[in-house]
Amino acid sequence: MKRSNRLVLLVGVLLAVLAFVAIVILLNQEAETAIPEEITETVLVATVDIGRGDSVTPDVVEEVEVDPEAVQGTPLRSTSAVAGQAAVFPIPAGSQVTGEAIGLGNNVIVDLPALLEPGEKAIAFQVDRVTGVDFLVKPGDTIDIVTSQLINVLQETADSAANPDENAPPRFESIPGLEAARTVKAILQDKRVLYVSATRAQEQEPIDTNGDGVIDELDEQPAQAAIDSVIIVIAGTAQDAEIIKFAQNDLGEVGSLTAIVRHADDDAVEETLGITIDQLVEEFGLRIPNIVEQLNEDVAPAP
């Protein structure tokens, strides 16, 4: 009887020990699972100082894990995201290389003064899809700007030309038929793009087109509005700003200025002729129909 009681007591102690061990293990497991894993995000960091305009390539950046709150701008997650894009602004070694730094970001907050060098000004002009190179211009590009204008061709009046007084100021008049002659000229070259605005097209609101009270895939939604124009901001001088203002006087005017993208390493200034109708005829051989001769042939009497 005593031996049986001792056996029961021993089994009870053994079960208590096993239960205690199980509780300790369970608590340790809960404690381990309660510790959250550290959350980080991958960003690119410059390994060397990158100057404005320098090519950002995979060999000058590295992937680094940082706290999510430390992520700046539009993050780039892999070294494959850079492929020689020009740096929009200087990037010191150890700094994050963001999308904004190479003209690919979506951050609408742009510090224009920080992008300028001493003596430079930020100058804006408006382009459409054609004059803006299908909206492919991006910050960091360098561009030329061509203007197209309509001008009135003038000639000195007959009485002014016949005036014997050499000191008299000449007077001019428009030539009939030449009140809006076109002239084209490259007015600015090798200008650095600081910023390109988002589209002015408005996002279309979903509509319950079938009238069932629910907006879903069964409703035909209106087509997305086409991009109509964007604003390009370049770095230039006050003189450049005057030229742009004169060439695009109307704030709503689109088409008078055309952006031409240059190679990143091309900083040469090209001497251009400018183009008018007479230069197209004289320099490039544009043929003009001889309307007078044709009319004379039409009315000439038969032999």
User: Mean pLDDT across the stretch 264-292?
Assistant: 82
Q: Where are the domains of the chain?
A: 41-102, 116-157+185-201+226-267
Q: Does 216 score more than 70 pLDDT? A: no
pLDDT given for residue 109 in this prediction? 61
Helices then strands, each counted (H, E), the chain: 6, 12
User: Mean pLDDT across the stretch 212-228?
Assistant: 64
pLDDT given for residue 201 in this prediction? 45
| Domain 41-102 falls under CATH 1.20.120.520 | no
Between the alpha carbon of residue 173 and those of residues 13, 152, 160, 178, 183, the distances in Å are 121, 9, 10, 11, 19
Taking only Cα atoms into account, the Rg of the chain, rounded to an integer number of angstroms, comes to 36
Comparing 47 with 253, which gets the higher pLDDT?
A: 47
pLDDT given for residue 291 in this prediction? 61
pTM: 0.61
Q: How many degrees, rounded to 5, is the angle at CA 226 between CA 222 and CA 230?
A: 145
Would you state the structure tokens that stand for residue 77, as one six-digit string?
Answer: 């997650």
- The secondary structure of 40-69 as a DSSP string is -EEEEEESS-B-TT-EE-GGGEEEEEE-GG
